Amino acid sequence: MKKIIFLLIYVTICFGCQKNDKPKTFTGDKQFKTTDPSRLYFNNIRSTSYYSSRKRNTKIDIYKARKSAQTDKRPILYPMIVDNWLDNEAYLFLEKNKYSKFADPLTIKAERDTILQTFVIDVFNKKNQYAFAENIYNSLNDRQTLSVKTKDGTFVPILQNYQDKTNFVMTLNDYFRLIEKDRKVKK
């Protein structure tokens, strides 16, 4: 009987004290990497400002600002945070509203005093959308006036409405916090 108890204790100790496997290393693009603390902060504090949905048959959560205007009378860009939590990545996607006059490719002109910049996006992949949205974000922080190119070649104002501008900046601030990117506004 003592041998059986000793054998059970020995087996329990041998199997209970196995070496832990190494944690899964991140293999994705460092530009989109998230961490558990930043995701926890976003999910517990910031996600209340967003409508969330999950793509069918995926582990991807999509967050869109709650106070987004639903109109087709003026051009609006909706930034969306796409949380691929299974791969520890988050992306920033842009969605156009149903305004019928958007030109293809999407072209935004930013101007202030003598400064004139143009941003163009023709392929909507995660890197291009990130760079395009970051350029718009920097222009808004620099108080530049933004216009979007229409099908007839003219430019009409975009993100001039206070709520549209606030939603865009808020979403990008939350996204930068989620990927832990240090954002300092240039003065």
* 107 bridge partner residues: 120
* 65 bridge partner residues: 50
The Cα angle at residue 127 between residues 124 and 129, in degrees rounded to 5? 45
* Strand arrangement, sheet containing 155-157: 115-121, 106-112, 145-149, 155-157
Residue 25: band (very low, low, confident or very high) from pLDDT cuts 50, 70, 90? low
In this prediction the pTM is 0.81
Share of the chain above pLDDT 70, in %: 87
Residues 2-11 pLDDT 10s: 777 766 777 6
Is 61 or 8 the better-scoring residue by pLDDT? 61
* Strand arrangement, sheet containing 77-84: 50-54, 60-65, 77-84, 89-96
Domain boundaries along the sequence of the chain: 28-178
Measured CA to CA, the distance from residue 45 to residue 96 in angstroms comes to: 27
Is 160 or 25 the better-scoring residue by pLDDT? 160
Residue 187: band (very low, low, confident or very high) from pLDDT cuts 50, 70, 90? very low
Measured CA to CA, the distance from residue 121 to residue 144 in angstroms comes to: 19
**Poorest-confidence range of 53-57, 140-144, 155-159?**
53-57
Residue 16: band (very low, low, confident or very high) from pLDDT cuts 50, 70, 90? low
Residue 24: band (very low, low, confident or very high) from pLDDT cuts 50, 70, 90? low
30 secondary structure, DSSP code = G
Computed from CA positions of residues 106, 134, 53, 60, in that sequence, does the dihedral angle turn out positive or negative?
positive
Residues 79-122 pLDDT 10s: 999 999 888 999 999 999 998 889 999 999 999 988 899 999 99
Predicted local confidence at residue 114, as pLDDT? 85
Asked whether residue 69 carries a pLDDT value surpassing 60, the answer given is yes
* 54 bridge partner residues: 61
Computed from CA positions of residues 99, 150, 94, 185, in that sequence, does the dihedral angle turn out positive or negative?
negative
Give me the phi and psi of 83, to 5 degrees please. Answer: -100, 105
Predicted local confidence at residue 70, as pLDDT? 85
32 secondary structure, DSSP code = G
